[in-house]
Amino acid sequence: MSNIILIGMPASGKTTIGKLLSEKLPDYILIDTDALIEKTQGMSISNIFKQFSEDYFRKLEHDTIQTICSSGDKKIISIGGGAFENPDNRAALLKFGTTFYLKSDIDILYYRISQDKTRPLLQNENPKQTLLNLLQKREDNFKKAHYTIDTNQIDTEEIVRFILNASNIKSSN
């Protein structure tokens, strides 16, 4: 399967790397599970959390991932930061393509999200601690990805090159 799957914490660069990969691979479809959920529900992720619940969002996320993973080839998929926690999601994604964990330092993640009000799990008194707790809780599962890329060490072009090589995909651009 020549699908590429990007996983990692909020603000780890999944969206940015997904877009860069998609420029290199014009015949690939770029799918961001959060954007797809917002489109199908006609509602922002924060409103889904507010008006329904996190559990409701997780169910939508699960259904979205199962649908994507039962479709065909040539996809670049970027998933929400909590999606790889669900064992069904993990199993489906690990089978559907090559998975890449974009690993970032907590300080960098926090710096990037500190001005952002769109991430419902981090709208509280101590978002940095929340982020750290989430990272510690999730890291073992993130590391089940086929590859871990330390994004603090290399620039975005190198990350893209690494992903293309590891997935054995030739870029036409």
Binding region for ligand S3P (CB under 6 A): 10, 34, 45, 80-82, 119-121
Half-sphere exposure of 56 (CA within 13 A, CB side): 10
Residue 51 three-state SS: helix
- Looking at the Cβ atoms of 79 and 163, the one nearer to ligand S3P is 79
Say how far apart CA 32 and CA 78 lie, in whole Å: 5
Q: Toward ligand S3P, which CB reaches closer, 37 or 169?
A: 37
Task: Give just the sign of the alpha carbon dihedral 93, 149, 76, 161.
Answer: negative
Encoding tokens for residue 89?
């999601």
Residue whose CB is nearest to ligand S3P in the complex, by number: 80
Residue among 29 and 85 whose Cβ is closer to ligand S3P: 85
- Give the separation between CA 15 and CA 21, rounded to whole angstroms: 10
| Beta carbon of residue 127, minimum distance to ligand S3P (angstroms, whole number) | 12
Q: 135 vs 169, which CB is nearer to ligand S3P?
A: 135
- Let me know: does 100 contact 160? Beta carbons within 8 Å: no
CB of 82 to ligand S3P, least distance (A): 3
Least gap, CB of 71 to ligand S3P (angstroms): 20
For the CB of residue 106, give the shortest distance to ligand S3P in the complex, in Å. Answer: 14
